[in-house]
Amino acid sequence: TDLDDFIAGLPKAELHMHIEGSLEPELMFALARRNKIDIPFESVEAVRAAYSFSNLQDFLDIYYQGANVLREAEDFRDLAIAYFDRAEADNVVHAEIFFDPQTHTARGISFATVMEGLLAGMGEAKERHGISATLILCFLRHLDEADAFATLKAAEPWLDRIEAVGLDSSELGHPPSKFARVFDAAAAFGLKRVAHAGEEGPPEYVREALDILKIDRLDHGNRSLEDPELVARLASSGMTLTVCPLSNLKLCVVPDMADHPIDSMLRAGLRATINSDDPAYFGGYVNDNYRAAARGRGLGREELVTLARNSFLGSFLDEAEIARHL
């Protein structure tokens, strides 16, 4: 349709995409074969059939299992290249990518292996597609503070290649305050801060992310809408929300795309953006997310332009680079 073409034609930045969540079943099988790893699935179709989730934890269990095929730097490079090829097709010109080092270091894969592979993929993306990319190191919040500190320590030799730290994994029971000191230490290294909050967790977790972690950007943030005072604060401070419509649908954060709050967020003055989260698991890359939200909520061109503009305004690019993209 015309609107699909319009969406495809919009240059955009992607601000919420977990690289491990871009592992397509085909690549999972190829890497399992290359690394001689058994995976508990018969076929690509069987893997896809297993991607039915009732909540965040359901998904996380299968997502961490999938990452088990990633062993060598080359695997991380191939993973990144596959994402950038898809991103280029969706007119993504800049990407700020999450990675979960603890998922790999816990399996004996070194921090350096992960970094070398991802950086190689990012270098090729720049060369081949002109896509600029940066990395956001996410701490797994179901693990303890000491594990997060050890991860920050492992990152020290790579700090000039890491833009920000983030917080992901199981939200309920793991409030942002658990990582107050790690985020302070990251800030002292000059890293920006983001956190998943208000995906399944209450508005109070969003407040903690703002007040205690001093975040520069809010990942998801859906449940902020339950608290009008919080919405007003997010709006007046110009906080960017990285919203993920297909993720919200697949993880049952919303019952139907017709119930998605993306347009309510814009009307409330929030700087909302559209992102794919874990595209291989949730049935679509960034343009699929724009299309699903546009269909579900009847978004028009003006709202779509705002969403794409917000993706640059909310990025960590410097002002001159943002201006160049607008």
Query: Mind telling me the catalytic residues?
Result: 199
CB 77, CB 117: distance < 8 Å:
yes
Work out how close the CB of 199 gets to ligand ADE at its nearest, in angstroms, rounded to a whole number. Answer: 5
The residue written with tokens 């977790």 in the block is: 205
Backbone angles phi, psi at 242, to 5 degrees: -95, 100
116 by DSSP, 3-state: which?
A: helix
Q: Which of residues 18 and 86 has its CB atom nearest to ligand ADE in the complex? A: 18
Contact call for residue 171 and Zn ion (CB under 5 A)? no
β-pairing verdict for 92-99 and 217-220:
unpaired
Binding-site residue positions for substrate: 278
Contact call for residue 137 and ligand ADE (CB under 6 A)? no
Structure tokens, 56:
């965040």
| Residue 159: CB atoms within 10 Å | 14
CB 98, CB 169: distance < 8 Å:
no
142: amino acid identity, one letter: H
Contact call for residue 135 and ligand ADE (CB under 6 A)? no
Count of residues interacting with ligand ADE (CB under 6 A): 10
Interface pattern 230-259 for ligand ADE (x via CB under 6 A)? -----------------x------------
Of 75, 90, 168, 263, the residue at the interface with ligand ADE (CB under 6 A) is 168
Q: Which of residues 251 and 270 has its CB atom nearest to ligand ADE in the complex? A: 251
19 burial via Cβ count (<10 Å: 0-12, 13-18, 19+): buried
In eight-state DSSP terms, residue 161 is: G
Residue 16: beta bridge partners? none
24 binds, among ligand ADE, Zn ion, none (CB under 5 to 8 A by kind): none
169 binds, among Zn ion, ligand ADE, none (CB under 5 to 8 A by kind): ligand ADE
Interface pattern 263-282 for Zn ion (x via CB under 5 A)? --------------x-----
Binding site for ligand ADE (CB under 6 A): 18, 21, 56, 168-169, 196, 199, 247, 277-278
